[in-house]
């Protein structure tokens, strides 16, 4: 759906491989039949960019909590069930880790019915965990913050814990290419030892916001790299301001919002390994 989900999945896979495990990243939308995944992706990007009212209506209906029975994403997700089960069996997977809420609905549905024989551990990459992330059939939920974990526990009645944002080691590197020994993002708020305040700009779902305007207003004169734009979908390099970070660093926005709460770098992969036995 966007660079945020893709970046988290890639980083989690990198950590698993670095530990000597095998990891396979699969786009759940490609598991849907009849090219429904392509249609869903196109509708999402088109609506947030050109008809945000349409996405707002869907969010209100499907994602926002409310009283009484509410429609969910399970009927759509279950269409990918056969392909996921075949893939898990063929690869001998020990655990399935959804990083997208449609995947969480799929694995929860399959686990609840005893069809998926291995644990499913959902990595919730949103600070505000909407209800489509929470399916009681999943074995465990990993969240960015303890507040999000409490919300998920209340929705599912099952276990959920905070693991902190899953970001690449480069996120903690200073401007000179070194790394911050404190394990955080510098603490002082400097950008590469320049004495200038660092900032991370998020351009919203699928990069729909005016990220260039954000960049122009925030970046100090002559220092364009101090305010890296972080769209949800990567624009061509020719359209990015010189010196800016590529959009695939989308998860940098997570740590910007929870710098002091960043967990140890291995926490998410260790938790997944625990559930894989």
How far is it, in rounded angstroms, from Cα 119 to Cα 74? 18
Q: What are phi and psi of 32, to 5 degrees?
A: -75, 140
pLDDT tens for 129-179 read: 888 899 999 999 999 999 999 999 999 999 999 998 888 888 776 655 444
CB of 183 closer than 8 Å to CB of 210: no
Q: Kindly state the tokens that stand for 172.
A: 């903690």
What are the structure tokens assigned to 36, written together?
């429904």
Per-residue pLDDT tens digits of the chain, which is 277 residues long = 667 888 899 999 999 999 999 999 999 999 999 999 899 888 888 888 888 888 888 878 777 766 656 566 678 888 999 999 999 999 999 999 999 999 999 999 999 999 999 999 999 998 888 888 999 999 999 999 999 999 999 999 999 999 988 888 887 766 554 444 444 444 444 445 555 555 666 666 655 556 666 666 665 544 444 444 444 444 433 343 443 333 333 333 333 332 223 333 345 555 555 555 5
For residues 21 and 108, the answer to whether their CB atoms sit within 8 Å is no
Q: Taking the model in full, what pTM does it have?
A: 0.70
Distant-in-sequence, close-in-space partners of 170: CB < 8 Å, separation ≥ 6: 249
Q: Say what percent of the chain tops pLDDT 70.
A: 58
In 3-state terms, what secondary structure has residue 123? strand
pLDDT at 142: 96
Phi–psi pair at 258, nearest 5 degrees: -145, 50
Closest residue by Cα to residue 242 from 258, 259, 222, 256: 222
Long-range contacts of 209-213 (CB under 8 A, 24+ apart): 211/235, 212/241
CB neighbour list of residue 47: distance below 8 Å, 6 or more residues apart: 54, 55, 58
Element (DSSP H or E) covering residue 121: strand 121-123
Number of DSSP helices (H) and strands (E) in the chain, helices first: 10, 5
* Whether the Cβ atoms of residue 105 and residue 28 lie closer than 8 Å to each other: no
- Dist. CA 225–CA 219, nearest whole Å: 7
């Amino acid at each position: 759906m966007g660079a945020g989900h893709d970046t988290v999945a890639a980083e989690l896979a990198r950590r698993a491989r670095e530990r000597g495990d095998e990891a396979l990243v699969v786009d759940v939308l490609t598991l849907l039949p009849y090219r429904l995944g392509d249609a869903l992706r196109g509708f999402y990007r088109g609506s947030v960019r050109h008809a945000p009212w349409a996405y707002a209506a869907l969010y209100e209906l499907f994602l926002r909590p409310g009283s009484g029975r509410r429609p969910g994403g399970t009927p759509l997700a279950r269409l990918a069930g056969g392909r996921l089960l075949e893939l898990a069996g063929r690869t001998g997977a020990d655990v399935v880790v959804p990083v997208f809420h449609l995947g969480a609905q799929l694995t929860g549905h399959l686990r609840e019915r005893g069809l998926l024989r291995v644990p499913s551990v959902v990595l919730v990459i949103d600070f505000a965990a909407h209800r489509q992330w929470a399916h009681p059939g999943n074995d465990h939920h990993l969240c960015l913050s303890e507040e999000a974990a409490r919300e998920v526990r209340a929705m599912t009645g099952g276990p959920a814990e905070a693991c902190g944002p899953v970001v690449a080691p480069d996120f903690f590197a200073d401007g000179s290419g070194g790394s911050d020994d404190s394990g955080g993002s510098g603490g002082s708020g400097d950008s590469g030892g320049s004495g200038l305040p660092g900032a991370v700009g998020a351009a919203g779902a699928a990069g729909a916001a005016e990220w260039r305007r954000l960049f122009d207003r925030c970046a100090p004169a002559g220092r364009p790299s101090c305010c890296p734009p972080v769209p949800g979908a990567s624009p061509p390099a020719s359209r990015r301001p010189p010196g800016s970070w590529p959009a695939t660093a989308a998860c940098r926005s997570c740590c910007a919002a929870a710098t002091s709460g960043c967990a140890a770098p291995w926490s998410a992969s260790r938790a997944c390994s625990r559930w894989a036995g």
